[in-house]
Structure 1
């Protein structure tokens, strides 16, 4: 970003957020952002569009949110899931800045911002179970006669997986998950279906047709079903850590008030420090909540509440 003052000359979404008053500094105030450099970079685009700096910055955010909404649709609507039935979890340094407008774009009415959102992915990496995948191609129109052969193949894959992993990691309390890739004969795409121990074809076919119906809106009962691959996952659990509560009860006085741009223009918005928000704190937007590793923007018509686990919940 140009506003970092580190030789960047092209405008970025961070520059747009800065020019709209959404973020003034990073690292809890240790890193100030350079408004002049952000304006100089954004001016290049604004002149080409015949817009003001504010108009161009806002258009940039709208476009960025549309791209993110498209990504959400890929993992929901295109898999037969309704995004409006889900809660949006906003993390990363900039995720909570875009969360509300993104949620509006895709029809979500509830957002959860975890403690230390900028570190959320790293924390997840440390706490996630280790998962090893083994796949064997098995392209065949399958029937009841194949049940024993498929079970034997699964056992061979599992034996190989355990043998290989035991040389690399301590295999203790691991579990094995089986799946099979299935499709109707003639289709060019598959659905991964959970497979039982021991393998039961009727149960797998029932699951496949249910998943196909929920994903694509139809199923062909009695149609030939083809497998393409057998999968085995070896999952080694990671010891779960108990996280301490990070937020105290030192009051919730605003650090300051600044002009922040929303859909209808600039609005005077309180700026709060997240660690000063006590459990149970509630407020309506517009407001900005800053912390060391992230910034949360709460637009008008949204309300935020601090849960006893340290998470902030936004609703509209």
Structure 2
């Protein structure tokens, strides 16, 4: 699994670098596996435990979510994931005052409102 994770990390890191993020602003990768008991549909995402024991962490999470675990039951990996985050510089946003305006109507049309026709402005969406 380590070689797969390393390959995924390198690809993800390269992608973040192509987005213009400086290498020193890239956070350590977060590795995870989607695991499930063999024969079961529901998966649980397990973030890499500090001791590397995904099976034990899966059983702990399964117990928390479902109230029980099947210790020693065969596990299946349905996905291996790596998350690489690059910190970006906070953009400088210049706030501008709102200027009230009333755009000119593209046309007018007599429309029946409340018992009489009223000239109603028409605005085309293309503008």
TM-score in terms of structure 1 length: 0.26
Question: What CA RMSD, in Å, does the superposition of the two structures yield over aligned residues?
Answer: 2.0
* Larger relative contact order (CA 8 Å, sep ≥ 6): 2
Whole-Å Cα distance in 1 between the matches of residues 69 and 20 of structure 2?
42
Report whether the alignment pairs 1:181 with 2:34.
yes
2:11 aligned partner:
160
Matches within 5 A, 1:128-143: none
Distance between the aligned counterparts of 1:238 and 1:206, measured in 2? 36
Distance 1:151 1:184, change over 3 A: same
Cα deviation digits, residues 162-210 of structure 1 (max 9, x gap): 122211121333221111000000011100001158x83xx21111101
Distance 2:18 2:86 in 1: 14
Alpha-carbon distance, 1:161 to partner: 1.0
Q: Does 1:229 align with 2:79?
A: yes
- The residue number in structure 1 matching 2:110 is none
**Pair 1:238–1:170, CA change in 2 (3 A):** closer
Q: Residue 97 of structure 2 aligns with which residue?
A: none
Match of 2:20 in 1: 169
CA distance in 2 between partners of 1:156 and 1:209 (Å):
27
Change (3 A) 1:207 1:196: closer
Q: Give runs of aligned pairs for residues 1-316 of structure 1, distance below 5 A.
A: 150-171=1-22, 172-175=24-27, 176-196=29-49, 200=52, 203-237=53-87
TM-score normalised to the size of structure 2?
A: 0.62
Greater fraction helix = 1
After superposition, give the CA deviation of every residue in 1:76-132 in whole Å (9 maximum; x if it has no partner).
Answer: xxxxxxxxxxxxxxxxxxxxxxxxxxxxxxxxxxxxxxxxxxxxxxxxxxxxxxxxx
| Distance in 2 separating the partners of 1:239 and 1:216 | 42
Larger of the two Rg values belongs to structure: 2
CA contact (8 A) 1:177 1:234 kept: yes
